[in-house]
């Protein structure tokens, strides 16, 4: 999922000149547009990241609330939403619904693409954040890098810390993996989107499709069979 987030972030940047997997950049662009008196563009920079929020809220309804109320989380629906939206993005891009790939962000087409990509990242990030109990975020690296830095210091001072060193080692390896695969996704996205334009979004369609069908297997197809076998 970190690899996919790197792909989507690079795709959004090359297509619309905006990063889509984290909200920080939109706040910066908002301030820049306001300072230049471009209030219409500033409003757009406020509205687009709201869809990241909506994505996280949708994930919260499908996963977090169900976990807290003792119900089975619907991971497969959350991943299905991501898969469906990436299909919409890729098909829409190929059909020219989002304008020319790489053109300056000035038309409604570009904003629609940004909205969809932010929505995808919000659902993905919200789902993984819930599953990991707010330990993992796959759509941006600021928090992960901070946690990695703290974790490395704890490992370096392991003689002073008698507890949790083993868990900290595992967590640091996991954080390094997330950073590595996000970077790999960004590099791959740079090559793919520079060459294929909107058709490059077919790659996250494939990765999100694999995740969706894996969740379907474990939550829809496999569990009933396991239950029947036990009976």
Q: Classify residue 12: in a domain, yes or no.
A: yes
Q: Classify residue 74: in a domain, yes or no.
A: yes
Q: Classify residue 142: in a domain, yes or no.
A: no
Please tell me the predicted confidence (pLDDT) of residue 207: 93
Please tell me the predicted confidence (pLDDT) of residue 19: 82
Please tell me the predicted confidence (pLDDT) of residue 231: 45
Please tell me the predicted confidence (pLDDT) of residue 126: 87
Please tell me the predicted confidence (pLDDT) of residue 115: 93
Global confidence as pTM: 0.86
Q: Classify residue 153: in a domain, yes or no.
A: no
Please tell me the predicted confidence (pLDDT) of residue 219: 86
Domain count, the chain: 1
User: Please, what are the averages of pLDDT over each run of 10 residues along the chain (231 residues)?
Assistant: 90 89 82 88 87 92 91 92 96 93 86 93 86 66 82 82 72 87 93 95 95 90 60 45
Q: How far apart are CA 143 and CA 171, in angstroms?
A: 13
Q: Classify residue 163: in a domain, yes or no.
A: no
Please tell me the predicted confidence (pLDDT) of residue 148: 85
Nearest to residue 4, comparing CAs of 227, 206, 228?
A: 206
Q: Classify residue 71: in a domain, yes or no.
A: yes
Q: How far apart are CA 93 and CA 205, in angstroms?
A: 13
Q: How far apart are CA 203 and CA 208, in angstroms?
A: 9
**Domain extent at residue 56:** 2-133+186-230
Q: How far apart are CA 182 and CA 9, in angstroms?
A: 9
């Amino acid at each position: 999922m970190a690899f996919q987030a790197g792909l989507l972030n690079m795709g959004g940047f090359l297509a619309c000149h905006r990063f889509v997997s984290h909200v920080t950049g939109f706040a910066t662009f908002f301030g820049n547009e306001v300072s230049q008196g471009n209030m219409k563009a500033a409003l757009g920079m406020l509205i687009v990241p709201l869809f990241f929020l909506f994505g996280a809220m949708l994930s919260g309804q499908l996963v977090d609330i169900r976990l807290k109320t003792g119900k089975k989380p619907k991971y497969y629906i959350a991943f299905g939403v991501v898969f469906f939206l990436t299909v919409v993005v890729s098909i829409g891009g190929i059909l020219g619904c989002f304008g020319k790939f790489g053109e300056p962000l000035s038309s409604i087409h570009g904003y629609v693409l940004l909205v969809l990509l932010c929505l995808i990242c919000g659902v993905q990030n919200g789902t993984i954040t819930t599953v990991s109990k707010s330990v993992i975020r796959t759509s941006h690296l600021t928090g992960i890098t901070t946690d990695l830095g703290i974790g490395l210091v704890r490992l370096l001072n392991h003689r002073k810390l008698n507890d949790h060193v083993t868990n900290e080692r595992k967590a640091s390896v996991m954080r390094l993996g997330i950073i590595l695969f996000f970077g790999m996704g960004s590099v791959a996205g740079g090559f793919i989107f520079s060459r294929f334009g909107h058709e490059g979004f077919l790659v996250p369609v494939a990765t999100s499709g694999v995740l969706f069908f894996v969740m379907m297997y474990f939550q829809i197809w496999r569990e009933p069979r396991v239950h029947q076998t036990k009976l």
